[in-house]
Structure 1
Amino acid sequence: MENRLKGVKVYVGHQDETQRSRLVSILEKLDMEVVGETSSAAEMEKACLAKRPDLIVSGLFPSENPGVDALVSIGEVEPIPGLIIAKKEDMEAVEKALEDHVMAYLIDPVDEHDLKPTIYLVIKRFEQFQELREENENLKEVIATRKKVERAKGVLMALYDLTEEDAYLKMRKVATDRRIKLGEVADLVIKNAQKSA
């Protein structure tokens, strides 16, 4: 686990200075690089968007209403995995944070034996989350391309009185000859049809 965590850039936000110093000390002992720390949710949000750490370890900032929004806002702009350090009575706010890029939580006070495996888990879960996100984006792109190809086939079938298969083969040949993607050919067909209309 040590090798996996070595050099990971962490930003620490906690309103309690003693707890924050303890967290920083544990993280540095785990060979992680603490790139910043703060007692303010607003400052944490600004710094994390500028520095883009690999991980955020944060308290809930009870005096800032509601402090967890900073973590959610960071996640909306730049997905960064987060670990919440909370008190038992803060579980409602923790559940809100878990809906975003906060991957896990620990109950205060924490020690190295709690923090080390949890950080490892958070990083692993975030990597899986990113993979799923990329797969989802790729799937969306495939579906969008299919829709364009279907539309372009319809245009060619109407213009040249072709069968669906012949229209597809014609597009495939253009893609091969020009060394471009089928989706790009579909875009050209649709664009030219709109110009002619």
Structure 2
Amino acid sequence: MNRSLRIAIADDESDMQEYYRTILPILGHVVVAVAETGQELVAKCREQHPDLVIADIKMPGIDGIDAAAQIYRDSPIPVILVSAYHNEDFIRRAEENHILCYLVKPIKQADLEPAIAIVMRRFEQFQALRKESADMKQALEDRKIIEKAKGLLMKKASLGEAEAFRRLQKLASEQNRKLVEIARMLLTAEEAFQQPEPRQRPV
């Protein structure tokens, strides 16, 4: 990948911190935050909003997996987790917390460079699917509202389906609003008219 990334790193070993500070600029990236604990990593990510996080799992306080989960809840950011050894429990927890890559030390440039490229590609694909899913859900909700408003017009104005839809489109065009906004306004007005009048107490 050619894009320069702003990267936050976390490791309680000074030699690993220095390694990242040296190797990441060689790969064309910028180290924007260095943390020694999970809590510090979470705080620095909130301040810096990095494009990528590279974190050791074993750190004082909360570990890298729990820190990654907190960071993801704040704002989805891709994370590469690093460990001194292969551990099935770590891998399971990592998968459950949206971790896209797991590397085992020692980390070589030949390992890190493709790992960063793969993680960013996976993250972009994941975000696109996430947005598509949200857009699809919203589109279905909007369609339900429009259909309901169309049915209301058909009933109240004795219109056919096509004519009722054209009436909605005309209103949306005249008021420079989205079709679903006009539909909501009609349904809200109908609900207001259906509200029972308060009973008057006898004098």
Separation (CA, whole Å) in 2 of partners of 1:91 and 1:27: 28
CA distance in 1, matches of 2:62, 2:181: 49
Q: Does 1:48 align with 2:56?
A: no
Between the aligned partners of 2:7 and 2:74, the Cα distance in structure 1 is: 18
RMSD across aligned positions (CA):
1.7
1:167 counterpart residue number: 164
Q: Which has the higher contact order (CA 8 A, sep 6+)?
A: 1
1:153 maps to what in 2? 150
Give the stretch that moved more between structures: 136-145 or 34-43: 136-145
TM-score by length of 1: 0.90
The residue aligned with 1:39 is 36
2:140 aligned with 1:140: no
Of the two, which has the highest radius of gyration? 2
- Within the candidate set 7, 13, 16, 1:16 is matched to 13
Q: Could you tell me which runs of 5 or more consecutive residues in structure 1 were left unpaired when the two chains were aligned.
A: none
> Given the alignment of the two structures, is residue 111 of structure 1 paired with residue 76 of structure 2, yes or no?
no
Q: CA deviation at 1:62?
A: 4.7
**1:130 paired residue number:** 127
Contact 1:15 1:40 in 2 (8 A): yes
Structure-2-length-normalised TM-score: 0.87
Q: Which runs of 5+ in 2 are unaligned?
A: 195-203
Q: What is the identity, as a one-letter code, of the residue corresponding to 2:53?
A: I
What is the Cα deviation at residue 36 of structure 1? 1.2
Alpha-carbon offset, residue 102 of structure 1 = 2.1
The one-letter code of the counterpart of 2:120 is I
What is residue 80 of structure 1 aligned with on the other side?
77
- Give 2:61's match in structure 1, choosing from 45, 64, 67: 64
Letter of the 1:151 partner, please give it.
Answer: K
| Fraction of identical pairs, as percent | 29
Which residue, 160, 171, 180 being the options, matches 1:183? 180
**4+ residue segments displaced more than 6 Å:** none
The separation in 2 between residues aligned to 1:173 and 1:32, in whole angstroms, is 52
Does the Cα contact within 8 Å between 2:81 and 2:103 map onto a contact in 1?
yes
The residue matched to 2:87 in structure 1 has which SS?
helix
- Could you tell me which residue of structure 2 aligns to residue 29 of structure 1? 26
- Please give the per-residue CA displacement for 1:10-55, whole angstroms capped at 9, x wherever unaligned: 0000122222322222112212100111110000001101210010
Measure, in 2, the Cα distance between the counterparts of 1:133 and 1:67.
24
